[in-house]
Copies of this chain bind each other. A is one copy, B any other.
Amino acid sequence: MSRRILEEAQIREFIDLDLGTIEVIESAIQALSKGNVIMPPVLSMELREANAEVDIKTAYIPGFDGFAIKVSPGFFDNPSLGLSSLNGLMIVLSAKTGLVEAVLLDNGYLTDIRTAAAGAVAAKYLAPKQINSMCIIGTGVQARLQAKAACLVRQVDEIKVWGRDFNKAQQCAQDLEQALGVSARAIASAQEGVETSQLVVTTTPATAPVVQSDWLHPGVHITAMGSDQETKNELEPSCLEKADVYACDRVSQAALLGELRTAREHNILLTDPPELSDVIVGAHPGRVSDADITIADLTGMGVQDTAIASYALTRIP
C-alpha cells in the first residue's frame, strides 16, 4: 500500500457522523473488553505560556492493518486570531512494518466525529428508550454533534440547549432544529434542562461542575464528554455516587482525566467502576430499569482514533 496524504476536505467528503461511524466506534470500544488492545497513557503537554495543550493518543487493536497516532493541539487563544482552538492530525502506521501508511490532515475533524460517535454508543447502551427531552450543555461543535449522535440511536422529541452565553445557545438550538428536524430551544437554566430531560450530554471545557447531583432524577442518563484533562470537571462528584450505573470509557484514563478523577478526590468510586465496553458485551448489566440513573464518563481513547482513521482509509478512494 502506498503512502497517502489526505486533506480535510477529502476526509469530510467521505466521513460523516452516521450509523456507519457509530458502528466502527462501538466495535473499537468493544475491543477493549478482550484485553489484547494496547493503549498507552495519553502523552499530554501543557504550554502555559501559549494558553495551549497538546494531547497525543494511540492504540493498537489486534486484527487492524494499521494503528493511528493522533495529535490534538488545543490553542485556546486561536479564536482571537480567527482560528479554531482545536486542530491536529492523525498518522496511520502499518501494524506489520511501522511504515507510514497515511497522514490525515483533518484539523481535528475525525476527532470530532469519533467523539460524537462514542456519545452515541453511550446513549445506545445506557440511556432510557424513551427520550421526550434531551438536554445539551454547551454550544460548540461537539454540542451539535452529540445532539445528532443521540438522534441517530434514539427517537428524541425535543432538544434543550444550555450555555453560559444564551445567544450562543439560541444559535445552537436553531442550527439543530434545522439540521435534525427536531424541535429545539435554548433554555436559561441548566437545572431546568437536566430536571426535565431523560438524556443529558455535557460538552463543556468546565473546570468546576455544571451539573449538580440534586438535579439528577430517576430515569436520567448523563454523558459527560467534556472532561479530558486533569483540570476539567463537569459533574458534581456526588453525581457519580448517586448514579445506579457509572461507566467510563477507560478506568485508568478517566481516573486521571475524567469525572472519575474529581470523584476519587472526594473518596467516591475508589474501587474500579465498569467500563463502557463491559456494558456493550454484557459483562455489566448497565441500565436495568427505566428509573435508573446512569452516567457515562468519556475522556476519548486512542482506540477510537485508530478505528476512525482506519475506517477513513477504507472509505476514501
Q: What's the nearest-Cβ distance from chain B to residue A112, in Å?
A: 16
A178 to B97, CA, bound (A): 32
Q: A43 in the interface, Cβ–Cβ < 8 Å?
A: yes
Mind listing 30 A-B residue pairs with CB under 8 Å?
A: A5-B5, A5-B103, A38-B45, A40-B44, A40-B45, A42-B43, A43-B43, A45-B58, A47-B95, A50-B96, A54-B98, A56-B58, A69-B71, A73-B93, A73-B98, A73-B99, A75-B97, A75-B98, A78-B98, A83-B97, A83-B99, A87-B97, A87-B98, A87-B99, A87-B100, A88-B100, A89-B100, A91-B91, A100-B105, A103-B103
Q: What's the nearest-Cβ distance from chain B to residue A266, in Å?
A: 28
Q: How many A residues touch the partner, as a band? A: 35 or more
A44 to B56, CA, bound (A): 11
A69-B71, A73-B93, A93-B73 given; A98·B52 CB < 8 A: yes
Binary B-proximity of A3-45 (CB < 8 A = 1, otherwise 0): 1010000000000000000000000000000000010111111
In A92-127, the 8 Å CB interface with B consists of 93, 95-100, 103, 105, 107
Q: A46 in the interface, Cβ–Cβ < 8 Å?
A: yes
Q: What's the nearest-Cβ distance from chain B to residue A58, in Å?
A: 6
Task: Spell out A's residues near B (CB within 8 Å).
Answer: 3, 5, 38, 40-47, 49-50, 52, 54, 56, 58, 60, 62, 69, 71, 73-75, 78, 81, 83, 87-89, 91, 93, 95-100, 103, 105, 107
Q: What's the nearest-Cβ distance from chain B to residue A253, in Å?
A: 13
- Mostly, the A contact residues are strand
A81 to B97, CA, bound (A): 9
A54-B58, A56-B56, A58-B43 given; A88·B98 CB < 8 A: yes
Which chain B residue shows the least CB distance to A58? B45
